[in-house]
């Protein structure tokens, strides 16, 4: 175990943290985070519709969701290439890259035109249904714009205004991106959109499977987290799977069918009680610890834990790099997703079919809002009880160790104080 911990600490963790800072990966991460307000607006519309179930006279505001969350891919098509240029230190052409990203994505989305010349899109392709295509198109545009940004037609001391030099320096790369989209879509009549999804469909299928759901969530929310590695490392992968799944569920229900895809962000909220690693139970246990240090950590981390924010607990208790508390986090990190997946796949709990981004609400409330059922609340309580049983014996051992350590520190302090008083008497 010591050799494993040393390797994870000194070799694996630094490499993963370096990967998280990769400009291409971090551009995708930041783009999705920047789009979070439109996801929350979609969640607000969901909450409002829950109230409409009880008060039918309330207006239908689903269009707010359609033109916020429902346009997520369009926003990402702009944000990703713009963020790539920012990360690559080409800020002067970031906006132009974003505009080229939108144009490229809209062509990739394979529009059609009627006899009157009106453009037609499959609306779901502009939302979560086109997210992977938006990621690919955005990164492609970012790569092209980045290469051309390394060269300029003008010298640094040119007398021309910057906006004019930007015009001419971005003409060729933007044209190249548009020509690629035009060639495939309107000349060859090949749907890049369909090709992209055929390539990525096996990965999405694996991600939506039982083992894909369990392993991805275990790695992101438990294993990597215990080594101080941000869960954002795999966020571009999980978000593509989750948002695609939610988009397909929404479309299926709207068409009169049923939700089929379990791996969504809303579903993960059913086992992330207190945050990654399901640490809410441990946070409550700390309030009753015999160790003074652990009681203080418990008091300071309780409110954030109730809102599913557990960085103060993971890095303060600490769980990270502490084998005694890492092990229970790994156990619940596997069992939590497994139980949730089985409960939903067996029909014991409804599969979420509406976006719900308010993950920071207390978990029982989230359980109801996500599933629209009492069974969702019961599932959350079952996960909480299981996490309590798993964490408790490890907590007791760690609490005992902390008490003994505090006692030794107190004895050392008393000996030092005794020697100091003895010297003062001799003087």
Tell me if 83 sits within 8 A of 75, measured CB to CB.
no
Structural domain contains residue 48: no
Gap between the Cα atoms of 382 and 365, Å rounded: 14
Select from 202, 220, 253 the last residue of a domain: 202
Question: Beta partners for 119?
Answer: 113
Tell me if 256 sits within 8 A of 372, measured CB to CB.
no
Name the nearest CA neighbour of 61 among 75, 46, 72, 76: 46
Structural domain contains residue 424: no
Same domain, 120 and 220: no
Gap between the Cα atoms of 46 and 354, Å rounded: 6
Same domain, 228 and 359: yes
Mean pLDDT per 10-residue segment, the chain (427 residues):
67 68 82 82 75 77 82 92 92 92 92 86 84 90 91 66 76 92 89 85 88 92 80 75 87 89 91 89 92 88 86 78 86 95 95 83 89 93 95 90 86 71 60
Q: What is the pLDDT of residue 150?
A: 84
Q: What is the pLDDT of residue 132?
A: 85
Gap between the Cα atoms of 32 and 425, Å rounded: 68
End-to-end CA distance of the chain: 52
Select from 185, 202, 219 the last residue of a domain: 202
Same domain, 165 and 231: no
Q: Please, which contacts does 400-404 make with residues 24 or more away whose CB atoms are closer than 8 Å?
A: 400/290, 401/324, 402/289, 402/291, 402/293, 402/294, 403/290, 403/291
Per-position b or e across 319-337, b if 16+ CB within 10 A of its CB: bbebeebbebbbbbbbbbb
Structural domain contains residue 299: yes
The DSSP 8-state label assigned to residue 223 in this structure reads I
Q: Give alpha helix (H) positions in 219-322.
A: 235-254, 265-268, 280-286, 292-306, 311-316
Q: What is the CA radius of gyration of the chain?
A: 26
Same domain, 403 and 285: yes
- Please give the residue range of the domain that contains residue 128: 2-34+68-202
Gap between the Cα atoms of 140 and 134, Å rounded: 10
Tell me if 340 sits within 8 A of 271, measured CB to CB.
yes
Q: What is the pLDDT of residue 335?
A: 95
Same domain, 228 and 190: no
Gap between the Cα atoms of 403 and 303, Å rounded: 24
Tell me if 217 sits within 8 A of 209, measured CB to CB.
no
Q: What is the pLDDT of residue 213?
A: 94
Same domain, 123 and 252: no
**CB contact set of 47 (below 8 Å; sequence gap of 6+):** 356, 358, 369
Same domain, 230 and 357: yes
The DSSP 8-state label assigned to residue 275 in this structure reads S
Same domain, 242 and 373: yes
Structural domain contains residue 301: yes
Same domain, 406 and 294: yes
Structural domain contains residue 161: yes
Select from 156, 175, 202 the last residue of a domain: 202
Same domain, 181 and 272: no
Q: What is the pLDDT of residue 182?
A: 92
Structural domain contains residue 270: yes
pTM metric for this prediction:
0.77
Tell me if 337 sits within 8 A of 217, measured CB to CB.
yes
Structural domain contains residue 24: yes
Total domains in the fold of the chain:
2
Same domain, 227 and 154: no
Same domain, 22 and 140: yes
Structural domain contains residue 59: no
């Amino acid at each position: 175990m010591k050799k494993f911990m040393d390797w994870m600490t000194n070799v694996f963790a630094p490499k993963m943290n370096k990967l998280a800072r990769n400009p291409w990966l971090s551009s995708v991460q930041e783009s999705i985070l920047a789009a979070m307000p439109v996801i929350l607006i979609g969640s607000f519309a969901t909450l409002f519709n829950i109230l409409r179930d009880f008060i039918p006279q309330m207006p239908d505001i689903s269009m707010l969701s359609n033109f916020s969350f429902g346009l997520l891919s369009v926003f990402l098509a702009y944000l990703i290439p713009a963020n790539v240029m920012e990360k690559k230190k080409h800020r002067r052409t970031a906006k132009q890259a974003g505009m080229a990203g939108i144009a490229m994505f809209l062509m990739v989305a394979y529009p059609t035109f009627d006899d009157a010349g009106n453009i037609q899109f499959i609306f779901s392709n502009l939302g979560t249904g086109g997210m992977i295509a938006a990621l690919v198109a955005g990164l492609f545009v970012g790569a092209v714009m980045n290469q051309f940004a390394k060269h300029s037609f003008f010298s640094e001391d040119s007398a021309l205004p910057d906006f004019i030099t930007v015009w001419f320096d971005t003409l060729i790369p933007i044209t190249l991106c548009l020509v690629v989209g035009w060639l495939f879509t309107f000349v060859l009549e090949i749907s890049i959109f369909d090709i992209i999804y055929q390539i990525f469909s096996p990965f999405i299928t694996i991600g939506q499977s039982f083992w894909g759901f369990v392993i991805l969530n275990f790695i992101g929310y438990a294993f990597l987290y215990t080594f101080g590695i941000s869960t954002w490392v795999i966020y571009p992968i999980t978000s593509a799977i989750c948002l695609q799944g939610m988009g397909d569920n929404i479309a299926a229900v709207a068409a009169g069918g049923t939700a089929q895809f379990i791996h969504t962000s809303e579903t993960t909220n059913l086992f992330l009680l207190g945050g990654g690693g399901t640490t809410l139970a441990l946070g409550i246990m700390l309030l009753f610890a015999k160790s003074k240090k652990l009681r203080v950590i418990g008091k300071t981390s309780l409110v954030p834990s109730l809102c599913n924010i557990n960085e103060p607990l993971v890095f303060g208790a600490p769980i990270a790099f502490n084998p005694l508390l890492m092990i229970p986090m790994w156990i619940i990190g596997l069992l939590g997703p497994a139980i949730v997946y089985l409960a939903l796949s067996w029909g014991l709990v409804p599969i979420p079919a509406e976006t719900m981004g308010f993950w920071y609400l207390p978990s029982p409330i989230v359980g109801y809002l996500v599933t629209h059922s009492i069974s969702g609340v019961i599932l959350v309580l079952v996960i909480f009880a299981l996490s309590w049983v798993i964490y408790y014996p490890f907590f007791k051992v760690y609490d005992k160790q902390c008490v003994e350590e505090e006692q030794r520190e107190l004895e050392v302090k008393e000996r030092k104080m005794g020697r100091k008083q003895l010297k003062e008497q001799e003087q």
